[in-house]
Chains A and B, each alone.
Chain A
């Protein structure tokens, strides 16, 4: 089971490097590893979410050429936080999942920004928020809703079968 989730994280990261650039809309791309992390965390709880987030973020850090550990840390936090919500909020509803994904993307962006402040990251929060974090959060929300729809369709098909 762990291997499966790690594979998902790895696949998500690979997709992020290869396929996602083609999904760019006006320079905005979704954060597929974060979406994978969120869905894994929602399914399997904080521990698995945290580990998946760490692996996915670590791979992104490695591939991205920036500081290794930043995304690993923020995504691990995101996975853990989302996993903690299971059982406290009605997270199985798409009405919670999709806005939750948007908010989580914003939160992850903020966490990354504040973490990077320790390393004298030059960009301002306003600029990052306006041009990177918020557009990506919306894109993630849209893509997340598509994923939720696909998953519910797949579940319906499985039930019928």
Chain B
């Protein structure tokens, strides 16, 4: 067995030496090399193709992975930009609202205080807003609250750091109003359904749909001329002494975010200072 092992080694060595000697003596191995090449070359070519295919697959996978991660990054970035755009738009809108509020405050001939809405109560029982101005800011009960479009309501409760404002469409709200065009007086009341009505209009009053109703200033609680709403329907009860008009409030209470609380008083008619349809 051992002899066989060494015999194999010796034989192989001899073959190699013979091969080498043959080559150095000028006996070429061209035919043998050609034969090997004939067998080997197609296999080599196939292997190279497989190898290139594998490399291609790998490259595609790496590319796909990088594209995927890049895509995730871009998505994040897009989301960040979208949020930034939203924030910028929010800031822009707030800026517009505050500018309008500031312009109104500058126009008004009485002391005011700006407040930000921090809470809402809008079920059928109570319709109110909470603003971040309270006792410390010098707010008192019954102070009128306005926005550039018109009247919001009045301060119902004053707390330490906040005030509760009763909205015009609160069922318990009553404000003295009048039709601006005909000067027909009445009482503006809220309703459980959320609408606002001008009540106690004399039967002969020439009130039409589209007429603007403003505060009458009677009782010196609300300054005169602050827009309340426009007449959208007139309810005539036939033989009743009074009839009433349904109003579309000048202010969209659901979208109010900043308000002006009136802390001073004036006898001046403020109608010209508001833009109820803006």
List residues of A whose CB falls within 8 A of some B CB.
Answer: 14-15, 17-19, 22, 45-47, 50-51, 54, 59, 62-63, 67-70, 72-73, 76-77, 80, 118-119
Contacts and interface: CB of A to CB of B under 8 A. Distances in A.
Contacts of A77: 9, 13
B36 A76 contact: no
Contacts of A69: 15-20, 23
B51 interface: yes
What's the interface size class on B, roughly? 20 to 34
A62 B32 contact: yes
23 contacts: A14-B40, A14-B43, A14-B44, A17-B40, A18-B48, A19-B51, A47-B5, A50-B9, A50-B12, A51-B12, A62-B32, A68-B29, A68-B32, A69-B20, A70-B16, A72-B16, A73-B12, A73-B16, A73-B17, A73-B20, A76-B16, A77-B9, A119-B24
Contacts of A18: 44, 47-48, 51
Given A14-B44, A54-B12, A54-B16, 14 more contacts: A14-B40, A15-B47, A17-B40, A22-B55, A59-B36, A62-B32, A68-B32, A68-B33, A69-B15, A69-B18, A70-B16, A72-B16, A77-B13, A119-B20
Contacts of B32: 62, 68
Contacts of B192: none
Contacts of B255: none
B225 to A, nearest CB: 88
B37 interface: yes
A50 B5 CA distance: 9
Contact of A62 (B9, B33, B43): B33
B15 to A, nearest CB: 7
Interface in B20-71: 20, 23-24, 29, 32-33, 36-37, 40, 43-44, 47-48, 51, 55
B40 A59 contact: yes
Interface of B: 4-5, 8-9, 12-13, 15-20, 23-24, 29, 32-33, 36-37, 40, 43-44, 47-48, 51, 55
B51 A72 contact: no
Given A22-B51, A68-B19, A80 B36 contact: no
B33 A72 contact: no
Nearest to A72: B16
The B interface is mostly helix, strand or loop, or mixed, namely helix
B28 to A, nearest CB: 10
Given A63-B40, A68-B33, A119-B24, A51 B8 contact: yes
Contacts of A45: 5
Contacts of B47: 14-15, 17-19
A13 to B, nearest CB: 8
B264 to A, nearest CB: 86
A46 B33 CA distance: 27
Closest 5 CB pairs of A and B: A69-B19, A73-B16, A18-B47, A69-B16, A62-B36
Nearest to A84: B5
A46 B3 CA distance: 12
A67 B4 CA distance: 28
